[in-house]
């Protein structure tokens, strides 16, 4: 019952913070956020999942099922559990929430109890997204994330916060509707073979070939229609080009701690859902559309990087970088190789840490200089040396510096994509994606040179000096985790491999290469 305890404790913490006075809310919320972090740490020591939670033979850890209510022929259940795909993302959620709380102490100076309470409500919903195994329960949590995020942007954001918050809500809510229709196309096509709408039941019924026709549409066509609707729904959340236009506005207007959660965790909801639904439930359709999906991923990598090159606002640069990074996830998933899918999942965690680090660093610079414009800054390395060098380290992590998590994630995706027998012309797609690293290096090196080095030229009435310890501490923790996963990637990669291997197997024996742990392929990577 550890997952139930985790959800209950986090939600109860939110209610306590809502009722607390503003003056104690920041530190109270931070202290209470350590409770779910501690529970997940205990879960880590007891984690014993086997296989993929959705596929036959999979044994999720901490699983529990309780009948909730009947909906026609279907039984709606409280069904939760985690496997090697969802558990690393669950851990990422609780870590980033606590660190985002600490980074909020400086910029959030009004209505603190409401802000920090909403942060904990959002954490509760995110925990549910990564643990729910019943579709109805999962969808409740999925939609539940949108509500606190909307208010966090619209109330505490920048000058155009209401526009950005409304745009975020409309885009993602419409995408949820499209996704919902796609899933129920499958549910209705499965007809009487389903008595529940749990994700494992749907997946295993599809695997057994029980999908029939619906509304005059044959089963094969129904699979394609459902796949496309699901993909469109999740593509907005990722986001991939051309569904990305809501993201820069949301990031720029959101307070920095909210941007950390948006880039670090909320974008991973989209890629996690793609892996769970499109690639786990309908792997044959994904393989049929491999070249198109790989092209979408490649376009996102290159176009996102080129958009970042054109920006002069540091926050927009990091925001567009996220679009580029999520393109690597798409390419890794569609490769249908263990290292491709495993690397894509590793990239979700790695990008969550690195993007969180970059947004927090930009926030610390803004707290001190009160500007994010690259052209207005210069020479900050002399005035804010610790912040500046952490920014440099985070940027090199984005570029894929060896012994950092970004390097491991990208190399795994490239190896997996290059080995793919599903993508026609896989080496060409891989080469194009690798060129994206050159573009990333170009705009990040330019941004660092203009903001951190050279003479100090900032004209401001504010004193520019060293950031306070509570602003620096979250940066140091995130940088430490990025390096830890770069040095010891098997801390999460072995469990990831165990969960993605059944998906690769489902696409055919000819797609299987090696599922050895990273410690056994170190020479190949390093």
Burial of residue 4 (CB within 10 Å: 0-12, 13-18, 19+) is middle
Can you give the pLDDT at residue 461?
58
3-state helix, strand, coil in the chain (%, to 5): 75, 5, 20
Q: How far apart are CA 475 and CA 485, in angstroms?
A: 16
Q: pTM of the predicted model, to two decimals?
A: 0.93
Find residue 74's DSSP bridge partners.
Answer: 71
Can you give the pLDDT at residue 459?
66
Q: Which two tokens stand for residue 70?
A: 């009947």
For 76-104, give one letter per residue: b (16+ CB within 10 A) or e: bbbbbbbbbbbbbbbbbbbbbbbbbbbbb
All residues at 6 or more sequence positions from 15 whose CB lies less than 8 Å from its CB, including other chains: 117
Q: How far apart are CA 116 and CA 104, in angstroms?
A: 9
- In terms of DSSP H, where are the helices of 370-489? 380-383, 385-399, 405-418, 426-452, 469-487
Q: How far apart are CA 360 and CA 374, in angstroms?
A: 16
Find residue 198's DSSP bridge partners.
Answer: 134
Can you give the pLDDT at residue 466?
81
Q: Which two tokens stand for residue 516?
A: 């050895």
All residues at 6 or more sequence positions from 130 whose CB lies less than 8 Å from its CB, including other chains: 82, 86, 87, 89, 90, 93, 272
For 486-500, give one letter per residue: b (16+ CB within 10 A) or e: beebbebbbbbbbbb
Q: What are phi and psi of 73, to 5 degrees?
A: -80, -5
Domain boundaries, the chain: 289-526
For 396-419, give one letter per residue: b (16+ CB within 10 A) or e: bbbbbbeebbbbbbbbbbbbbbbb
Find residue 313's DSSP bridge partners.
Answer: 373
Can you give the pLDDT at residue 462?
65
Q: Each residue's pLDDT tens digit in the chain (526 positions)?
A: 899 999 999 999 999 999 999 999 999 999 999 999 999 999 999 999 999 999 988 899 999 999 988 888 888 999 999 999 999 999 999 999 999 999 999 899 899 999 999 999 999 999 999 999 999 999 999 999 999 999 999 999 889 999 999 999 999 999 999 999 999 999 999 988 888 999 999 999 999 889 888 888 898 999 999 999 999 999 999 988 888 889 888 988 999 999 999 999 999 999 999 999 999 999 999 999 999 999 999 999 999 999 988 888 899 999 898 899 999 999 999 999 999 999 999 999 999 999 999 999 999 998 888 888 887 888 888 888 999 999 999 999 999 999 999 999 999 999 999 999 999 989 999 999 999 999 988 889 988 888 888 777 776 656 777 888 989 999 999 999 999 999 999 999 999 999 999 998 776 543 443 344 444 444 444 4
Q: Closest Cα partner for 56 from 202, 197, 188?
A: 202
All residues at 6 or more sequence positions from 24 whose CB lies less than 8 Å from its CB, including other chains: none
Find residue 79's DSSP bridge partners.
Answer: 65
Residue 239, preceding bond cis, omega within 30 degrees? yes
Can you give the pLDDT at residue 507?
66
Q: How far apart are CA 526 and CA 402, in angstroms?
A: 8
């Amino acid at each position: 019952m550890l997952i139930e305890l985790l959800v209950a404790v986090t939600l109860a913490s939110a209610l306590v913070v809502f009722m607390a006075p503003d003056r104690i809310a920041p530190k109270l919320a931070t202290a209470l956020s350590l409770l779910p972090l501690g529970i997940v740490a205990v879960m880590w020591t007891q984690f014993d999942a086997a296989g993929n939670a959705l596929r036959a033979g999979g044994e999720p850890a901490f699983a529990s099922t309780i009948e909730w209510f009947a909906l026609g022929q279907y039984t709606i259940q409280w069904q939760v559990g985690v496997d090697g795909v969802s558990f690393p993302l669950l851990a990422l959620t609780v870590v980033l929430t606590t660190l985002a709380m600490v980074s909020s102490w400086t910029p959030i100076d009004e209505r603190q109890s409401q802000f920090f309470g909403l942060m904990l409500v959002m954490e509760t919903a995110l925990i549910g997204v990564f643990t729910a195994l019943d579709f109805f329960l999962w969808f409740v949590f999925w939609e539940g994330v949108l509500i606190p995020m909307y208010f966090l942007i619209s109330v505490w954001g920048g000058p155009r916060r209401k526009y950005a918050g409304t745009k975020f809500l409309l885009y993602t809510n419409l995408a949820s509707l499209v996704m919902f229709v796609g899933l129920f196309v499958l549910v209705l096509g499965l007809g009487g073979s389903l008595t529940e709408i749990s994700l494992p039941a749907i997946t295993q019924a599809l695997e057994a070939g029980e999908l029939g026709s619906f509304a005059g549409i044959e089963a094969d066509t129904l699979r394609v229609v459902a796949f496309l609707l699901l993909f469109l729904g999740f593509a907005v959340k990722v986001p991939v080009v051309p569904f990305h236009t809501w993201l820069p506005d949301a990031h720029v207007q959101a307070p920095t701690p909210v941007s950390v959660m948006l880039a670090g965790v909320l974008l991973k909801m989209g890629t996690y859902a793609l892996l769970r639904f499109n690639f786990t439930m309908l792997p044959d359709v994904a393989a049929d559309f491999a070249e198109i999906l790989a092209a979408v991923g490649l376009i996102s990598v290159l176009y996102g990087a080129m958009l970042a090159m054109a920006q002069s606002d540091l926050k927009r640069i990091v925001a567009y970088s996220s679009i580029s990074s999520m393109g690597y996830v798409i390419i890794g998933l569609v490769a249908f190789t263990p290292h491709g899918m495993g690397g894509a999942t590793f990239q979700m965690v790695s990008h969550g840490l690195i993007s969180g680090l970059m947004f927090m660093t930009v926030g610390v610079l803004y707290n001190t200089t009160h500007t994010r414009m690259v052209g207005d800054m210069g020479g900050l390395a002399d005035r804010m040396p610790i912040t500046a060098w952490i920014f440099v380290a985070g940027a090199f992590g984005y570029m894929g510096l060896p012994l950092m998590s970004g390097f491991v994630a990208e190399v795994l995706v490239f190896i997996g994509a290059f080995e793919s027998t599903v993508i026609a012309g896989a080496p060409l797609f891989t080469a194009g994606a690798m060129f994206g690293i050159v573009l990333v290096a170009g705009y990040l090196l330019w941004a660092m040179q203009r903001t951190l080095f050279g003479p100090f030229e900032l004209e401001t009435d504010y004193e520019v000096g060293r950031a306070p310890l509570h602003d620096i501490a979250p940066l140091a923790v995130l940088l430490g985790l990025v390096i830890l996963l770069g040095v010891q990637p098997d801390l999460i990669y072995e469990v990831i491999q165990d969960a993605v291997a059944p998906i690769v197997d489902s696409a055919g024996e000819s797609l299987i290469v090696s599922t050895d742990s990273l410690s056994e392929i170190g020479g190949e990577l390093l």
